[in-house]
A and B are shown apart, each in its own frame.
Chain A
């Protein structure tokens, strides 16, 4: 068979797959947008919720017109979809700036915190998980898994409080609230990153065990390859696929955990913004924050799919690393 034809067929398969994924992502986004819209709008009349009860009727009506609440739900929905495409999600009830501006202002702080936590999770979790798998059924394996499962079970807010208690209040090494300096990042990042590393360790251990038991690893060892080569060339690419998929799912818990962490440490990110806006019933900001989180998750999962093609030896386009 001509290699060129095989390659071209592969590329067309990949692009078909990606096209399908993009389509599905769009549908998912649309459904999420619709759910958010209808759930939040059917909750009650925002004009009655937000304005003081003694507000005169005509003032309420003026606000309803201003916020577009006087039209039918369907009209509001169509307007809403058009507005979303233009990136316009309304004006914050609380501080009269566009909701998207407020959300975009908070986003970089959340990405910084989430990214740092993810790095901590990967740097600690991956080596621990692989190490435990290599020492399968030994004392080391059990010890690592005991630590990992504690990380799995500990509530983010409790870990945050324990860290504040020890490192801010007792030892006075690190600040417990704010985001002014790099020192402020340390405690929230570890609060979010340590449980994540536990989950990653647990999952990557399973993935590594699965791969290390496969016949092609035995073949590679039988060929006389050193342990490093077996691990890096044969085990790692195959074990990376489920771990990557797992990370795609974990983005949701980083976002959720981030909301709690940001609230504890006064970190001015997306999650804290959502919690505060939920408190104040600031409808446009709540909406924008939820949609922003959805967009992050959809994008993250799309990139996971892209990377899946990059690393999975069975889907490799070039064919040089096929097993």
Chain B
């Protein structure tokens, strides 16, 4: 029901506002990314780990017999295009999983803080302050150094970036909704707190939440790619856009394409989400009208 509501609002907005071409382009790019990450094994010409050692550092578009490397090969003769396709899948998956965990934890804590006030509220807001005063990359590095590295820990580490923003946002929104007349009316009719929260308040703040997720997503992707770039994220033989860039960095002089192609994919993806997030905030976020930033 909620999804349909959002869908209707977006469809309505596309009709009402003239959607600029940049936003359309960003949407198309992101759609491509989603399709690529869903169907990576069918789209990629080769496997991401398949080595063609006789064709190391092949140039963009090199063709050897029936082997064609559209974006060249790396130092082990692996097809860059195939690796990028699989890397997109990994990076998008980690960022989505991290965002989901972070948003779930953040929203839950925000609800708890607003619902119970008092001690719970103070404790949660202190944790929020502490998280906000720790640079996310620093905390993530500490985590990875001492918990070792596997995919679950890595997703949790990535989810560290941003949960406190959801908590702050939800707490503020819920508190202000609680003051409004319609909530008082519902409460006066005898609705239970849980029903008030999920049936009445949540649908009214979900638009702001979705916008916040969109605004936060680029920094989540950047955290994942930064950690992988530094060699502390996704480990070989796995592949991620950041890891590819980190590997390509050693061959910059002779084979810059190894680093430049995955880097461009990251840039275009974060840029698209930024553009889309900004646009969504301007058009969908009800908290923006009047009260300002």
Bound CA–CA A281/B130 (angstroms): 24
Give CA–CA (A4, B34) in the complex, Å: 65
Taking the closest CB of chain A, its distance from the CB of B218, in whole angstroms, is 6
CA distance A256 to B278 in the complex (A): 23
B149 to chain A, nearest CB (A): 10
Cα A32 to Cα B133 with chains together (Å): 8
- Could you give 30 example pairs across A and B, Cβ below 8 Å? A27-B129, A31-B130, A35-B134, A43-B148, A44-B146, A149-B271, A152-B274, A153-B218, A153-B274, A154-B267, A155-B270, A158-B259, A158-B264, A164-B252, A165-B260, A242-B293, A252-B134, A252-B135, A255-B138, A256-B137, A259-B135, A259-B230, A260-B229, A260-B230, A263-B230, A274-B138, A283-B146, A287-B142, A294-B134, A298-B133
* Chain A residue nearest in CB terms to B232: A278
Closest to A40 in B: B146
Neighbour of A165 across the interface among B129, B130, B136, B252, CB < 8 A: B252
CB contact list, B66-102 vs A, under 8 A? none
B156 to chain A, nearest CB (A): 11
Does A139 sit within 8 A of B, measured CB to CB? no
Whether B252 contacts A286 by the Cβ 8 Å rule is: no
Q: Footprint of A on B, CB under 8 Å?
A: 126-127, 129-130, 132-139, 141-148, 218, 222, 225-226, 229-232, 242, 245-246, 248-249, 252-253, 256, 259-260, 263-264, 266-267, 270-271, 273-275, 278, 292-293
Total A-B pairs in contact (CB under 8 Å)?
A: 154
- Choose among A153, A169, A289, A297 the residue that contacts B271 (Cβ–Cβ < 8 A): A153
**Which of A44, A154, A286, A294 is the one whose CB lies under 8 Å from B141?**
A286
Residues of A in contact, count (CB < 8 Å): 54
Tell me, yes or no, whether A236 is within 8 Å of chain B by CB: no
Residues of A within 8 A of B145 (CB): 277-279, 281, 283, 286
Question: CB distance A256 to B135 under 8 Å?
Answer: yes
Q: How far is the CA of A165 from the CA of B251 in the complex (A)?
A: 11
Q: What's the least CB distance linking B223 to chain A, in Å?
A: 8
A174: Cβ under 8 A from any B Cβ: no
Q: How far is the CB of B51 from chain A (nearest CB, A)?
A: 24
CA distance A155 to B248 in the complex (A): 15
Digitize A279-292: 1 where CB-to-B-CB distance is under 8 Å, 0 elsewhere. 10101001101100
Besides the known contacts A161-B249, A278-B144, 14 further A-B residue pairs in the complex with CB atoms under 8 A apart: A31-B129, A32-B130, A32-B134, A39-B142, A155-B242, A155-B267, A158-B264, A165-B252, A165-B256, A252-B132, A252-B136, A259-B135, A259-B230, A297-B134
Closest to A203 in B: B293
Contacting residues of chain A (192-220) with chain B, CB-CB under 8 angstroms: 206, 210
Q: Which residues of A contact B225 (CB under 8 A)?
A: 155, 157
A35 to B142, CA, bound (A): 11
Question: In the bound complex, do residue B245 and residue A158 qualify as a contact, i.e. CB atoms below 8 Å apart?
Answer: yes
Q: Which of A40, A157, A283, A287 is the one whose CB lies under 8 Å from B226? A: A157
State whether B136 touches A155 (Cβ < 8 A).
Answer: no
Q: Tell yes or no: A122 within 8 A of B by CB.
A: no
Chain A, residues 141-174, CB within 8 Å of chain B (1/0): the string is: 0000000011011111110011011000100000
Q: Which of A24, A149, A242 has the most CB of B within 10 A?
A: A149
